[in-house]
Amino acid sequence: MPIAHEFKYLKAKSLKNAFALMEKHPNYQVLAGGTDLICAIKEGMISPEAVIDIKGLKGLSKIKLSNGELSIGSLVSYSEIIESRTIKSYFPLLKEAAEKVASCGIRNRATMVGNICSAVPCLDAGAPLMVYEATVVVEGKDGERLIPIKEWFVGPRKTSLKAGEIVKEVRIKEPALKHGIAYDKLSRYEGEDLAQATVAVYLDEQNNYRISFGSVAPVPVRASSIENLLNGKALSAELIAQAKILVAQEISPITDIRATKEFRLHMCEVMMERSLKRAQMMLGGK
Amino acid sequence: MKTQIAFTLNNELRKMDVETNQTLADALRYLMGTKSVKCGCERGDCGSCTILFNGKSVRSCLILALEADGQEITTLEGIKKPEEEMTPLQEKLLANNSFQCGFCASGMIMSLTPLLKKNPSPSEEEIKEAIAGNLCRCTGYEPIISAVKELAKENRQQKEKSK
Amino acid sequence: MSKLKYIGKPTVRVDGKAKVTGAATFVEDIDFGPNLLYAAVVESPYAYAKINSIDTSAAEQAEDVVKVVVGKEFPYRFGLYMHDRYIFAQDYVRFMGEQVAAVIARTPEAAKRAAKLVKVDYTELTPILKVEDALCDHPNLVHPELKSYEHVPWFFPQDDSNIAHFRKIRHGDLDKGFEEADQVFEDVYYVPRYAHCAIEIHGAVGKFDHSGRLTVWTSSQSPHTQRHLFAEALKPLGITHNDVRVITPYVGGGFGGKAGVTMEIIAAALATKVQGHPVKVLWSREQEFYNTYQRQGVVAKMRIGVKNDGTMTAIEQLLYWDAGAYVEYGANVVNAAGLSATGPYRIPNIKIDSVCVYTNLPPGGPYRGFGYSEFLFGLESFVDDIAEKLGIDPIEMRLKNAIKEGDTLAYGGKMNPSGLEQAINKVKKELKWGEKRESKDPHIKTGKGISLFWKAPAMPPNASSTCFLKFNEDASINLLISAMEIGQGYHTVMAQIAAEVLGVPPEKIRGENPDTDRNPYEWQTVASHITWSCGNAVYNAAVDARDQIFDLVERALEKKRDALYLEDMQVKSKDEPEWSVPLRDFIIDGLMMKDGTWRGGPIVGRGMFMPEFASALSNPETGQGGKPNVHYTVGAAGVDIDVDEETGKVKIKKTVLAVDCGKALNPSLVEGQITGGLVQGFATVLYEDMRFSDKGKLLNPNFTDYKIPTVHDIPEKMVPIIIETAQPDGPYGARGVGEHTMIPCAPMIGNAIKDALNVRIKSMPLTAEKIVMSQKNQKK
């Protein structure tokens, strides 16, 4: 299928150059992996005047852990996240989620930062980053801003990134306590599918809980009422049953072609229960 | 407006004049004549256009041709060694009647090639994961998986023998 | 028959190397040079509307645009079995996505941009999107002129209605049959629309050269039928059959979607407007979903009478098909299902109504299974439920009623030889029927289900196949045949048949993709009839060639003809074990006599097959009297599944399918049809369906939301079982097997889910969501 829309392709030589290009072509789109962008242009969903390719920028391609803080550059692909030993050892929730993104040929190209910039409701990375309480580092010509992930997502396809800014990296502090995690995704297929709901769970040895749901509200949500109920308590069947009742208050799923809101709610309850149990087993060393 | 790019295609240095809005899949098919690159959905769902981009399997329908400038591209036409008639993977897929209509074949092979390079004897799960983004409507996938499993087993036995 | 050397062997595909190396050429791979133009089609945004006017001026002035063509330039009605459609819409559009106009430009981008500039003024009308609405008391008529449409003699449209064809079958005495029954059961099942999803999208290139020759390159299952329909439709332009040439290279999957004529006629028609230029029409995946054919939806109302011992005494099957806006092909699906809607059962008293209903949805048409998958979902689910109510094992119930050779069919004919009982018993054994598999996970329930299946080729009684067989100097062979290698392995099997007769190994025999100028006639590659029909033609051509060879050797070398035989590319004689003559020594040049003169010359075999016993004529009120079906292929299949009762996810642990293919000419390829068919069938029951809005807009025209199974979604184990009860008139006893393998999938999954969770879901697909929600509703 031909791309009928015509645009300028500009390769940024440096961050500074990127800022200048963005200023000169206000109707721009940033190109990293391109797996969302090219498709959207092809299908006429967006018609940018300029596409600014940032793949040549230095320093945005690294996964680095220093002083207890992980940084994932905006050009890091999902495959690189899966293959990273650092992430596997210290941030396994990211690996679990990344493995469920699309398929190998997409993951070799698609970036996690691109995923959170598209901010489509079906994004995969939202719930895990909410649980890890990540920070998004952006830079514009006026300097750097640090945006907590819970302030990052503003609405479907809307983020707090401003015109003229570029995401440099995502930072995550390594959890201090021994913990277990689990991620689950509702999809119609065992193979590649867009998420109809996601759940990410963290629990640690002091019974602190973090639970986030994705794709069941305009933006990924932290389930604070459930966390409040669970915090400080050891998991039990009774407690899980109480927690499941609260799921309906935390999420606002919609009915669309992929699933009904009733099924999404039901599955969020089931996935949360199963994820909590899995995270607990992991914490127990199983 | 056309821009000239230079890149490596199947181990040869090539140049092509591409439009800004041309996808790599279209440029490879229509400008370079590497017609093994197929398009079945144009939005990254079917995997028929899979090629190797710097050794990694990617969807060429979701890449602009301009992004290939200075990069190394491999299509099915370029995967065999000069002395080979076909790669061992192709031989095995042929011997097992793995494909039917054959439209997905090049994408499948391009997804499996980097896997086998990294790990000549992959598990069934690894084989499946490598082609999880390659759709096939004819075969039910089973004849493809069994052929690669057979190759993996032979590679494992050969490795053990040479120890 | 003596021992077979090539038949029955798992020969490597003769097209295999071309496919694994990427050398196989599909229609979009052909180069057409710098003169090539590209068309983009303007489509209707409404399911039903009147076209008031079309303004093409802006599009005509756009850069690189060569021509804009509107529907009125081709006011010709055409169709395969019924002339009810136009190349482009005329005064009305009848489905969303219907082609209204086209832009021809020098680049595909320019064509796409200019297509948006064509302004069409419509008056939107209320569309008919449901069969019930089409059949209400005073419906809007989708085709007010229905009564004037030409159609084949076995269709029965009802004037001033939306019923394009009403197939009636009346056999025995229905009332008596229900009276004789101890119990009578009723039920209703629903099947939505489905898409073929061949990975290769439809594409066609037409070229009308300056001498008036129209050549069309297509991705098609039906090159000769296309030539015929192009010539018929474009006759007013002075184009004749002799002027039309259709060339069809390898096809990237068909499944019925590339049968007949759909978008190809657009390329043919547009070419006539830009004489001298090839013009390419290439569908997008979205257009592929909308504007080829779709598998029709159906509402099936059933009533079955049974004795307490399980014997069926009567069946009433009322099938109402959502056939879409044009039924030129789809009406024959309705017809085929109507003839066979008893399923593979011996039932003495029968009433079948199979009703083809026009709606304002995209045209329905052929899809692997041709109506049988649709009615068997209801029937085979219903049979399980009846067995349960009678307290009879579902397999015993089926064995008791399974049709046998010589039993009377619904339309009055006799059943062909069949291994149905053997198939049922083999599936029963392989599935360990009666043993419950235990699961350790408390949320996982296990279940087993089975289904029988049958299907006959649906084709005109005089559908025929032909073959020219020509030798090359080295005694290798080219088969000029015109069925399509759509992946099923047709070229390989034809090579094996010729190999067996001529003693030339299959790898030396090339099947030629059709060019209607060169390859002789074939009706279409549909109906699972090619192995049987074209196989007979190839066999006959090979025998013809062999006769010529023996004649020559007898005449020139004075060998006793009756003792001659062919082996290893040589002529040999039973009388003289030491003597032989290689085919290559004479197959083109002939044999030299002592005086230096020559005998013989290039050997060319010719073969043809047409089933002269078939007839589609019958009493319209009863369907009795004809012989519309040439034979049935039958079988049985089963599954053993895990269902997670909390998530509704179904995992197929094992599936078994036994099919009686008469003779497996190549068991490897039969197994390929079994695994491929099973996965395609499971997809229709577990995952896929086409969803339409209340405006008739297709909501999932892409692989993101109409997704076909990935490698992670297939059964853990698939067991193919081949049964061989020879088909008396088949090549080496073979009959077709291509479509059958997907037919039993939906009911056997439904039956296994019922077994696991005690929930019966009566509308396809049986998605995880539906399973969970119906469980929840049941508990309420």
B52 touches chain A (CB under 8 A): no
| Any domain includes C552 | yes
Residue B7 Cα, gap to closest chain A Cα (Å) = 16
Could you read off the pLDDT of A251-285 as tens digits, one per residue? 999 999 999 999 999 999 999 999 999 999 999 98
Residue C779 has pLDDT above 80, yes or no: no
Structural tokens at position A179: 């913990």
Q: Determine the longest span between alpha carbons in chain B, in angstroms.
A: 58
Could you read off the pLDDT of C530-576 as tens digits, one per residue? 999 999 999 999 999 999 999 999 999 999 999 999 999 999 999 99
Structural tokens at position C453: 């299946």
| Any domain includes C253 | yes
Could you read off the pLDDT of C109-127 as tens digits, one per residue? 999 999 999 999 999 999 9
The pLDDT of residue A1: 79
Q: Would you call C599 exposed, middle or buried from its count of C-beta atoms within 10 A (0-12, 13-18, 19+)?
A: middle
Reported confidence tier of residue C780, pLDDT bands at 50, 70, 90: low
Q: In this predicted complex, what is the ipTM?
A: 0.98
Indicate whether C75 and C177 sit together in one domain: no
For the domain B88-161, what is the CATH code?
Answer: 1.10.150.120
Contact flag C713-A262 (C-beta cutoff 8 Å) = no
| Any domain includes C572 | yes
Residue of A nearest to C774 (CA): A263
Q: Answer yes or no: are the C-beta atoms of C338 and C169 closer than 8 Å.
A: yes
Strand-strand pairing, C604-609 and C465-471: antiparallel
Mean pLDDT of chain A: 97
Indicate whether C521 and C532 sit together in one domain: yes
Could you read off the pLDDT of C249-259 as tens digits, one per residue? 999 999 999 99
Mean pLDDT of chain C: 97
Rounded to an integer, the average pLDDT of C741-753 is 98
Could you read off the pLDDT of A149-160 as tens digits, one per residue? 999 999 999 999
Rounded to an integer, the average pLDDT of C203-225 is 98
Reported confidence tier of residue C207, pLDDT bands at 50, 70, 90: very high
Number of domain units in chain C: 3
Reported confidence tier of residue C235, pLDDT bands at 50, 70, 90: very high
Could you read off the pLDDT of C635-658 as tens digits, one per residue? 999 999 999 999 999 999 999 999
| Any domain includes C10 | no
Indicate whether C121 and C132 sit together in one domain: no
Indicate whether C522 and C566 sit together in one domain: yes
Q: Answer yes or no: are the C-beta atoms of A135 and A94 closer than 8 Å.
A: no
C-alpha distances in angstroms, B105 versus A104, A144, C164, C282? 17, 48, 41, 21
Rounded to an integer, the average pLDDT of B9-34 is 98
| Any domain includes C564 | yes
Residue C1 has pLDDT above 60, yes or no: no
Indicate whether C488 and C597 sit together in one domain: yes
Sequence-ordered strand ranges (E) for A149-193: 153-155, 158-159, 166-173, 179-186
Q: Answer yes or no: are the C-beta atoms of A226 and A239 closer than 8 Å.
A: no
Task: Give just the sign of the alpha carbon dihedral C135, C140, C145, C149.
Answer: negative
Could you read off the pLDDT of A72-105 as tens digits, one per residue? 999 999 999 999 999 999 999 999 999 999 999 9
Indicate whether C350 and C400 sit together in one domain: yes
Residues ≥6 apart with Cβ < 8 Å to C696: C46, C47, C48, C95, C96, C127, C129, C360, C361
Give the Cα separation of C622 and C620 in Å (integer). 6
Residue C2 has pLDDT above 80, yes or no: no
B72 touches chain A (CB under 8 A): no
In CATH, which of 3.10.20.30, 1.10.3720.10, 3.40.50.300, 3.40.50.11540 is domain B2-78? 3.10.20.30
Residue of B nearest to A80 (CA): B56
Give rounded-to-5 percent helix, strand, coil for chain C.
30, 25, 45
Residues ≥6 apart with Cβ < 8 Å to C314: C172, C174, C176, C177, C178, C180, C181, C184, C303, C304, C305, C347, C348, C349, C350
For testing the chain A interface, which of B67, B108, B115 should be mutated: the one with the most A CBs within 10 Å?
B67
Indicate whether C340 and C469 sit together in one domain: no
Give the Cα separation of A5 and A11 in Å (integer). 19
Domain ranges of chain B: 2-78, 88-161
Could you read off the pLDDT of C317-338 as tens digits, one per residue? 999 999 999 999 999 999 999 9
Neighbours of chain C (3+ CB pairs under 8 A): A, B
- Domain containing residue C77: CATH number: 3.90.1170.50
Angular region, B11: left φ>0, alpha ψ -120 to 50, beta rest? left
| Percent of chain C residues topping a pLDDT of 70 | 100
Residue of B nearest to C200 (CA): B40
Residues of C in contact with B148 (CB under 8 A): none
| Any domain includes C338 | yes
Residues of B in contact with A39 (CB under 8 A): 43-44, 62
B45 touches chain A (CB under 8 A): yes
Rounded to an integer, the average pLDDT of C520-526 is 98
Indicate whether C469 and C570 sit together in one domain: yes
Domain range enclosing C174: 126-192+294-412
Indicate whether C214 and C333 sit together in one domain: no
The pLDDT of residue C777: 82
Residue C466 has pLDDT above 50, yes or no: yes
Could you read off the pLDDT of C59-95 as tens digits, one per residue? 999 999 999 999 999 999 999 999 999 999 999 999 9
| Any domain includes C593 | yes
How many other CB atoms are there within 10 angstroms of residue C106's CB atom?
17
- Sheet of strand C580-582, all strands in order from the earlier edge strand to the far edge: C564-567, C570-573, C580-582
